[in-house]
Amino acid sequence: MRHPLLEVRSLTTHFFTEDGIVRAVEDVSFEIYPGEILCLVGESGCGKSVTGLSILKLIPIPPGQIVRGEILFNGRDLLKLSEKEMEGVRGNEISMIFQEPMTSLNPVFTIGDQIMEAIQLHQKLNKRDARKKAIEMLDRVKIPSPEKRIDSYPHQLSGGMRQRAMIAMALSCQPKLLIADEPTTALDVTIQAEVLRLLREIQREMEMSVMLITHDLGVVSEVGDRVAVMYAGRIVEYGPIEDIFHEMRHPYTRGLLESIPQLEVKKTRLNAIPGQVPNPLNLPEGCKFHPRCPLRIEDCRREEPPLFEVKEGHYSRCLRWKECR
């Protein structure tokens, strides 16, 4: 029996704002196993990024607060660690990369300086060895002539190269888990394909786990092993990638997939999901998706459904999951 590397249990993160409580993440539970890529997918405001930030305790407090839950990393509850202890986890055991590499790279230092800083902070290496290691990392993410590029400033690199440099930095301490928040969203489609392939290759070589946060089911289909679909702060469907794409059992997952134009068939109309994403300050009663759902019945209005087990490892938060296919 495999043991999960990361186990998130009943994570609940709220933001206490002037306008009211934003329940960004509500009772979210999932596991990430060693060497797998778990995708967290959903539209803007569904709580996927807040989930990622909560794991590293990077939520701004106030207004944010992790209200409940456990985040077990190798059996250790990160929520119980002191800030000092967390610093030993961040960038070392768990790394994170973000959508826009330009905002997370410091423009006044070379990428080499920045990668070396990360290495020297967590590993006892002198400057020369750290530089050697940094060149090795740049080579690993397939940046051409790394011994020259190491002295480039971020603005001298293209978007794709910058994201590679970010990945090199994030991986320089051989983390066991990489949290990648929309890593390819700012990139062109050809560059996206390359960065995704790189991520997948390195993840296999280093036997690292990845939590990939994205709004794009296309990205999920390219790299994911398992998928958690989020809507209005909840996981609504959770399971192996083949099930999510071919045997989905939640009407929201189905709606998301059918909203994307198919290349193979020419259809005149798309099956759009009607209505709007609900206001997080004013979520509907019962199932959060019911106002937009084609399968809704009276019961959906009354009570929030639990996660039903469709089969081992595949769950759906829909009362009518049996009819949703």
Partner 1 sequence: MGSEILVQVQDLKKYFFKERLFSTEKEPIRAVDGISFSIRKGETLGLVGESGCGKTTAGKAILRLIEPTSGQVFFKGKDLMSLRGEELRKLRPFMQFIFQDPYESLNPRMRVGEIVGEGLEIHGVARGKEKRERVEEVLEQVGLHPQDAFRYPHEFSGGQRQRIGIARAIALRPELIVADEPVSALDVSIQAQILNLLMDLRDRLGLTYLFISHDLRIVKHISDRIAVMYLGKIVEMASSEVLFRQPLHPYTQLLLQAIPRLDPAKREEKIFFKETFLSLEKERGCLFAPRCPHFKERCAREAPFLVDHGDEHWVACHFV
Return the number of the residue (155 or 269) whose C-beta is nearest partner 1: 269
Of 80, 124, 128, 269, which lies in the binding site for partner 1, with binding defined by CB under 8 A?
269
Of 18, 107, 263, 282, which lies in the binding site for partner 1, with binding defined by CB under 8 A?
263
Sign for the CA dihedral angle at 178, 226, 188, 185 comes to negative
Segment contacting partner 1 by CB under 8 A, of 28-36, 104-112, 174-182, 272-280: 272-280
Where in 216-245 is the site for partner 1 (CB under 8 A)? 216-219, 221-222, 224, 241-242, 245
Site track 115-154 with partner 1 (rule: CB under 8 A), x = hit: -----------------------------x----------
Sign for the CA dihedral angle at 161, 46, 12, 18 comes to positive
Question: How far are the Cα atoms of 187, 223, 244, 262 from residue 265, in angstroms, in the given order?
Answer: 27, 24, 21, 6
Backbone angle region of 66, left / alpha / beta, with phi > 0 → left and psi within -120 to 50 → alpha: beta
* Minimum separation from the CB atom of position 39 to partner 1 (A): 11
Residue carrying structure tokens 């609940």: 12
Of 146, 154, 160, 280, which lies in the binding site for partner 1, with binding defined by CB under 8 A?
160
Return the number of the residue (164 or 176) whose C-beta is nearest partner 1: 164
**For partner 1, how many residues bind (rule: CB under 8 A)?**
46
Contact criterion met (CB below 8 Å) for 202 and 167: yes
Contact criterion met (CB below 8 Å) for 261 and 272: no
Return the number of the residue (103 or 268) whose C-beta is nearest partner 1: 268
Segment contacting partner 1 by CB under 8 A, of 57-65, 269-277, 293-301, 314-322: 269-277
Segment contacting partner 1 by CB under 8 A, of 20-28, 101-109, 264-272, 308-316: 264-272
> Residue 17 interacts with partner 1 (CB under 8 A)?
no
* Minimum separation from the CB atom of position 264 to partner 1 (A): 9
The Cα 66–Cα 203 span in angstroms is 29
* Minimum separation from the CB atom of position 219 to partner 1 (A): 6
> Residue 50 interacts with partner 1 (CB under 8 A)?
no
> Residue 112 interacts with partner 1 (CB under 8 A)?
no
Q: Which two tokens stand for residue 246?
A: 């071919």
Locate the DSSP E strands across the chain. 6-17, 20-32, 37-41, 64-73, 76-77, 94-97, 177-181, 209-214, 226-231, 234-240, 308-311, 314-316
* Minimum separation from the CB atom of position 164 to partner 1 (A): 9
Return the number of the residue (133 or 226) whose C-beta is nearest partner 1: 226
> Residue 294 interacts with partner 1 (CB under 8 A)?
no
Enumerate residues 6+ apart whose C-beta is below 8 A from 46.
230, 231, 232, 233, 277
Distance of CA 154 to the CA centre of its chain: 24
> Residue 100 interacts with partner 1 (CB under 8 A)?
no
**Other CB atoms closer than 10 Å to residue 148's CB: what's the count?**
11
Where in 189-218 is the site for partner 1 (CB under 8 A)? 189-194, 197, 215-218
Return the number of the residue (155 or 267) whose C-beta is nearest partner 1: 267
The Cα 10–Cα 77 span in angstroms is 13
**H-helix segments, 208-264:** 217-223, 241-246, 251-258
* Residue numbers at the binding site for partner 1 (CB under 8 A): 43-44, 144, 158, 160-161, 188-194, 197, 215-219, 221-222, 224, 241-242, 245, 255-263, 266-274, 276-277, 292
